[in-house]
């Protein structure tokens, strides 16, 4: 069982080290992660320049200037002379709830592993300012879930997005299967000045939960439960196919068959 571990916080982050430590009894663990924090990188792939990889210590590799997707893609597609069996991304320093998954480099690393055919898990610790930063708790949860996956595999297309309250392991109330909630729009951008007095902008904080009721990942974490949300890469809205087909049929000068009318 060869496990690839990645993240978007960088190869030196506390979360990725705690995760690798928790998984080492399952088999060889290799860390391939960005050389710096790339939070919010989403599924971006570097195509306009070559990537450099540096082994900083045995089994730990950083990709210079790379994104989380770059890291997993390189690791699975030729960086090593062996194949990995699973990709685990995290432990992220902060939640990836609801709409966060569209921006998250942590979730993107797991998605890339799934694109390339491996079972994957994205793990995030819901840290806040002044919270306990219980990365060992989150890593222990990840270890339990991976053990379950090995004994009882899920459908291969499934990506598990796991969010853990920032609590000691003994204080966690259990596991809940959840759906993604939704956030309110982000706070406005923050205007500032650089050292040359030029105007610059910081992206504003993420919005609070809007759809955060029972059954959502927001609600589970708020109640002290580990949220486990199954994700699917296929973004097609199948329920809308018939309505969109009918709508397109009225789109002159094309017909329903796609031919231009006379």
Low-confidence residues in the chain, pLDDT < 50: none
- The predicted model scores a pTM of 0.90
pLDDT of residue 203: 84
Q: Which domains does the chain have, with CATH numbers?
A: 3-249 (3.40.1210.10)
pLDDT of residue 170: 97
Render pLDDT for 110-142 as a digit per residue (tens, 0 to 9).
999 999 989 999 999 999 888 889 999 999 999
- What SS3 state is found at 180? coil
* pLDDT above 70 as % of the chain: 96
Angle at 121 between CA 99 and CA 162, to 5 degrees: 50
Nearest in space to 113 (alpha carbons), one of 74, 142, 82: 74
The token pair that represents 136 in the structure block: 């060992």
**Could you tell me where the beta strands, DSSP code E, fall in the chain?**
3-6, 29-34, 52-57, 60-64, 86-93, 120-126, 159-165, 175-177, 182-183, 190-193, 199-202, 209-211, 226-231
- What SS3 state is found at 238? helix
Instruction: Identify whether 91 is preceded by a cis peptide bond (ω within 30 of 0).
Output: yes
The token pair that represents 9 in the structure block: 């916080």
The token pair that represents 32 in the structure block: 């391939």
Q: DSSP H helical segments within the chain, as ranges?
A: 14-23, 68-74, 100-103, 105-115, 135-151, 217-222, 241-249
CA distance 261 to 101: 43
Q: C-alpha distances in angstroms, 18 versus 59, 85, 137, 183, 226?
A: 14, 20, 9, 29, 18
pLDDT of residue 250: 83
pLDDT of residue 253: 74
CA distance 262 to 256: 14
pLDDT of residue 259: 61
CA distance 201 to 94: 22
CA distance 182 to 162: 16
β-pair type (209-211, 182-183): antiparallel
């Amino acid at each position: 069982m060869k496990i690839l571990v990645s993240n978007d916080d960088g190869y030196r982050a506390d979360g990725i080290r705690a995760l690798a430590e928790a998984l080492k009894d399952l088999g060889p663990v290799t860390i391939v992660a960005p050389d710096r924090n790339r939070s919010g990188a989403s599924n971006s792939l570097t195509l306009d320049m070559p990537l450099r990889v540096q082994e900083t210590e045995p089994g730990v590799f950083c990709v210079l200037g790379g994104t989380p997707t770059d890291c997993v893609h390189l690791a699975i597609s030729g960086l090593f002379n062996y194949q990995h069996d699973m990709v685990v991304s995290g432990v992220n320093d902060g939640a990836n709830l609801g709409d966060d998954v569209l921006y998250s480099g942590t979730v993107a690393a797991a998605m890339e592993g799934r694109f390339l055919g491996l079972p994957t898990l994205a793990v995030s610790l819901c840290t806040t300012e002044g919270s306990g930063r219980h990365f060992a708790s989150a890593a222990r949860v990840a270890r339990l879930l991976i053990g379950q996956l090995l004994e009882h595999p899920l459908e291969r297309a499934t990506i598990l997005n796991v969010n853990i309250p920032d609590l000691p392991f003994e204080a966690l109330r259990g596991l809940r299967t959840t759906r993604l909630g939704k956030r309110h729009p982000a706070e406005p951008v923050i205007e500032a000045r650089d050292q040359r007095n030029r105007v610059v902008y910081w992206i504003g904080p993420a919005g609070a939960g809007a759809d955060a009721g029972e059954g959502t990942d927001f609600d589970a974490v708020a109640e002290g439960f580990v949220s486990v949300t199954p994700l699917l890469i296929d973004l097609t809205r199948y329920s809308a196919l018939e309505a969109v087909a009918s709508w397109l049929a009225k789109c002159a000068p094309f017909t329903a068959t796609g031919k231009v009318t006379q």
